[in-house]
Amino acid sequence: MAENPEQVLSEYEQLKDELNQHNHRYYVQDDPSVPDSEYDRLMRRLQEIEQQFPELVSDDSPSQRVGGEALQSFTQVTHAVAMLSLENAFNEEELEAFDKRIKDRLNLKDDQQIEYACEPKLDGVAVSLLYKDGLLVRGATRGDGKVGEDITANVRTINSIPLKLSGQGIPKLLEVRGEIYLPRAGFDKINASAIAAGDKAFVNPRNAAAGSLRQLDSKITASRPLEMCAYSVGQFKGGTTPDSHLNMLAALGEWGFKINRYVEPVEGVKACESYYDRMQERRDQLPYDIDGIVYKVNDLKLQQRLGFVAKAPRWAIARKFPAQEEMTVLQDVEFQVGRTGAITPVAKLKPVFVGGVTVSNATLHNGDEIQRLGVRIGDTVIIRRAGDVIPQVAKVVLEKRPADARPIVFPESCPVCQSPVRRVEGEAVARCSGGLFCAAQSKQAIKHFASRKAMDIDGLGDKLVDLLVDEGLIYSVADLYELGVDKIAGLERMGDKSAKNLIESIENSKQTSLAKFLFSLGIREVGEATAQTLAKNFGSLESITGADQDALLEVDDVGPVVAYYIRDFFRNPDNLSIISALREFGVCWDDIDITAQDSQPLKGQTWVLTGAMEIMSRAEAKDKLQDLGAKVAGSVSAKTTQVVAGPGAGSKLNKAQTLDIPVLDEQQFVRFLADL
Ligand code: IVH
């Protein structure tokens, strides 16, 4: 059908606006206004029009974010306003000296305070973005501060960078500066695919962001989930400049840029220090890396009076956090055996202070990882500890390899029980084949069995389990029920009273539920939730042990792999004899009447618990909801039926509110349960 060009043009302009707005809600505000399917529909229509009328395609079209033709080389760009760097403060004294210098220069009295804007120092790559009449015309790297490289094609692919500014008071010429960075989840994703493709992994998100921006082929940049936050302005012409740095950021926010949500004004240097402490506590939970805090004098007139020295402004300083990467020497590799027999190589390091703690062990994951890193004993390595608690070996510093560096040999027999080590074709993990005969595996199995969410044996901690197994007092979980006070009272650091208490809690653990018992068996891939579902669906242990593959597959959440592990577990005669011993010793539970379950009033619902609970414990609330048929999830999504929010609830509550999901406080929740 021939279309009226005028109508098409107006539809095209409207589509561009609409898509740019959705894009802004999704990538800048983290608050999508329409489902992905609607976005895709609009985008398809836009592309359809662009195909039909190629002359319409403009640089601010959202279709241009996918990347275009590869470049031969980058052209150089001279910054009209130099891109400065920041002075660093490594401790409170240096920060206080900075504050004093400023006050002296401005002739302020000791008790007069400067207002500072505090901002996280994002660990990425600085960028300059030039907008003429509100349209993005150039993106450039910092380079040496005076001359950088033109990366316009690459920055256009970054969704949180507006191609066209929106809102009021847009200056004729605006140069926005900010940081392009890769959130940790994106870093893990691109590293996983690099490894899968046999390529080298990036050491950290900053290198990955820099590498992604340095691509001559912008399609590669487009495939990397980069983000950009604005933190200052270079050239600014043909508009009214705000009076403070924070008002400038607010204006940038209005015009479509992402501004870091933790940016905050404070009075005086003491408040800067407490901001630093607060952000340092938050650091590990942030979805992106930050390497410190930037403090800026908020008043732009004062900034002007303070001016610059050499390469840095006098009105700003960066206070660095402890480094998340350090170099140290890998002195040895130990092989640890886990509950399922998985053998994990652990790097024994010369102790090193990294990410705020002293680290002497780092995981090497598995044999493939050792190969990928090409690491040897004696090598100098880069250790990275960021966000998560397990430190990683990120890279080998080959230049520092000593002549006597030794290759790491993966053991062929289990270091604990000497049974052969097996590696299933296609799996990365090598396992000890000794099963519960292996002391390492039986210790882990007993620890799991005794843990709070399993049989909940109070007082039976990890150290005690190690001791009981090492002393030959127990071999399997069933042996726990044969322990008497006399047997354990003589153990190291075990008085009569604690011995009595322990035996009492072992006794108390006998009365349990089918779900907890199933979970406590430590069947691979059967976590708490799967154990619950199995219990509810089958009602008795006999029905589960007798279930065939098809019956198991009928259960929600049970796929072929889980079904295989369940059947494998119950086919093993050792496991069956442990179970019958446990029952003989009095471990018992009430079977569940599975015919009565249709009356479960919350069946099909998904609940989320967040914040503190004061009337009942979170575990109790979860048990109750699950008994009533609800699923209890860890995060809020459009599928959530109901949220229970206690004091201190944060992002989950916010999300529930934006998604219009009903929220109960704890009192209302208790009443709701009582009324059912
Ligand atoms: S302001 C003249 N603010 O840190 C002021 N920089 O060490 C220039 N950075 O090159 C920078 N987060 O890449 C500023 N909130 C922030 C920042 C930040 C990260 C980077 C930036 C700069 C480097 C200076």
Domains of the chain plus CATH, in order, are 5-66 (1.10.287.610), 94-320 (3.30.470.30), 325-407 (2.40.50.140), 435-508 (1.10.150.20), 514-594 (1.10.150.20), 600-675 (3.40.50.10190)
Among 294, 304, 309, 319, the mutation site with the greatest number of ligand 1 atoms within 8 A of its Cβ is 294
Q: Answer with the residue of higher pLDDT: 36 or 431.
A: 431
CA distance 347 to 369: 12
Mean pLDDT across 115-136: 97
163-172, 308-317, 324-333, 417-426: the lowest-pLDDT one = 417-426
Q: How would residue 387 be classed by pLDDT, with cut points 50, 70 and 90? A: low
Encoded tokens for 637: 């999504």
Mean pLDDT across 419-447: 88
Q: b/e string for 507-530 if b means 16 or more Cβ within 10 A?
A: eebeebbbbbbbbbbbbbebeebb
CA distance 459 to 255: 59
Q: Answer with the residue of higher pLDDT: 320 or 595.
A: 320
**Angle of CA points 343, 349, 355, to nearest 5°:** 105
Q: Answer with the residue of higher pLDDT: 650 or 417.
A: 417
Which protein residue's CA is at the shortest distance from atom 18 of ligand 1?
121
* CA atoms 461, 464, 465, 466: torsion sign: positive
Question: Are 27 and 227 contacting, i.e. CB atoms less than 8 angstroms apart?
Answer: yes
Instruction: Write out residues with Cβ below 6 Å of ligand 1.
Output: 84-86, 119, 121-122, 126, 142, 179, 231-232, 294, 313, 316, 318
Among 79, 175, 179, the mutation site with the greatest number of ligand 1 atoms within 8 A of its Cβ is 179
Q: How would residue 179 be classed by pLDDT, with cut points 50, 70 and 90? A: very high
Q: How would residue 401 be classed by pLDDT, with cut points 50, 70 and 90? A: very high
Q: Is the pTM of this model over 0.75?
A: no
Q: How would residue 64 be classed by pLDDT, with cut points 50, 70 and 90? A: confident
CA R_g for the chain: 30
| CA 110 to each of CA 8, 92, 498, 654: distance values in angstroms, whole numbers, following the listed order | 66, 17, 60, 41
How much distance in Å is there from the Cα of 353 to the middle of ligand 1?
25
How much distance in Å is there from the Cα of 226 to the middle of ligand 1?
17
**Any idea which residue has 């004993």 for tokens?**
377
CA distance 293 to 276: 7
CA distance 41 to 357: 50
Ligand 1 atom closest to Cα of residue 124: 13
Among 79, 122, 141, 288, the mutation site with the greatest number of ligand 1 atoms within 8 A of its Cβ is 122
Is residue 172 annotated as part of the catalytic site, yes or no?
no
Q: Is the pLDDT of residue 455 over 90?
A: yes
Q: Is the pLDDT of residue 2 over 60?
A: no
Which protein residue's CA is at the shortest distance from atom 16 of ligand 1?
121
How much distance in Å is there from the Cα of 562 to the middle of ligand 1?
49
Encoded tokens for 45: 């229509």
pLDDT tens, residue by residue, 578-631: 999 999 999 999 988 877 656 678 888 999 999 888 888 888 899 889 888 899
Mean pLDDT across 259-263: 97
Annotated catalytic residue: which of 100, 103, 109, 121? 121
Encoded tokens for 398: 């080959």
Mean pLDDT across 449-459: 95
CA distance 527 to 350: 36
How much distance in Å is there from the Cα of 126 to the middle of ligand 1?
7
Q: How would residue 1 be classed by pLDDT, with cut points 50, 70 and 90? A: very low
